[in-house]
Amino acid sequence: MTGAPAQRRHPILRMIAARLGLGLLTLLVISVLIFMAVSLLPGDIAQQVLGQSATAETVAAFRRELGLDQPLIWRYLDWITGILQGDFGQSLANGRPVAEILSARLGNTMFLAAYAAIIAVPLSVGLGLLAALWRGGWFDKIANVATLSAISFPEFFIAYILMFWLSVRMGWFPSMADPGASPSLTEMLSRAFLPAITLVLVVTAHMMRMTRAAVVNVLGAPYITMARLKGASRWRVVTRHALPNALSPIVNVIALNVAWLITGVVIVEVVFVYPGLGQLMVDSVTNRDIPVVQACALIFAAVYILLNLSADILAIATNPRLLHPR
């Protein structure tokens, strides 16, 4: 009796191991692309950091200090080896360890993404269920128009509209999202509200439409007809019968949108001057702080790959038939 559950677990464990291996290989390839892309940027990094007034001897000495006189392959191996040991290098702008700079900024970005996800996920699933329940009705039509409008507008446009109405005109929320040093939770929630709502409006449209489509697709199944013939209410049919069988695509799209919340916050953080990883990356590009740029890009890639793998695993967990594709 104990052998059967173990045999059922083995395919899932093998799938998780295979996905993790593929994710690590993908991250390795992305690390090469990040390093190559940054290394091929036009201009001399040493000259840019030291300024045009620096002498040729000073520039040459600084290049040797940064290891820029070494072959590209050795520089990459030195960089990736340091990362595997937890050493992201030193910032060229202030000389601080890159890991120390990233730690606080990454926490802010994760807080903003979690803030938006806590609002967006139940809101989008609820709207999707209601749109499926009353498909073809006025609520469904309004929801579709609203979500299509939200998808059509870029996030910086939505951000400026919210800033104008809720901050400048109404004065309800601050337009600058920087909470300062050691803020309280209330202060952080207030400061991060506008960027969080901007992200919510962008991702809710995708999740709501996928929820509606998945539930509507299931509503045509024979067991749904049987549930209706037994006298079950429309809401019970949707929530108790249709939703559990439509979870696989819904969970998948939720995980992918949460991944976007973390990796796609660059523009929103810049607009609201929010001290997150995206703002740090933009500032580092401006200052030619290459170690910080590389570390930010690698962290964004790692988070996105990890959440994509989580989406695959959750989709298979909610629909084990995906383990045996035909």
pLDDT tens track of the chain, all 326 residues? Answer: 455 554 455 677 777 788 888 889 999 999 999 988 887 776 666 666 666 666 777 767 777 777 777 778 888 888 888 888 888 888 877 778 888 888 878 888 889 989 999 999 999 888 888 888 888 788 888 888 888 887 788 888 888 888 888 888 888 888 877 777 777 788 888 888 999 999 988 888 888 888 888 888 887 778 777 877 777 777 777 777 777 777 777 888 888 888 888 877 888 888 888 888 888 888 888 877 888 888 999 998 998 888 888 877 777 776 666 555 55
- Report whether 217 contacts 246 (CB < 8 A): yes
Domain ranges of the chain: 3-84, 103-323
- Which is the CATH superfamily of the domain at 103-323? MetI-like (1.10.3720.10)
Query: How many DSSP H helices and E strands does the chain contain?
Result: 16, 0
In this prediction, residue 221 carries a pLDDT of: 77
pTM of the predicted structure, to 2 decimals: 0.81
Helices within 134-192 (DSSP H only): 138-152, 155-162, 185-191
The span from the CA of 100 to the CA of 163, in Å, is 31
User: Could you count the other beta carbons within 10 Å of the beta carbon of residue 224?
Assistant: 17
The span from the CA of 23 to the CA of 8, in Å, is 24
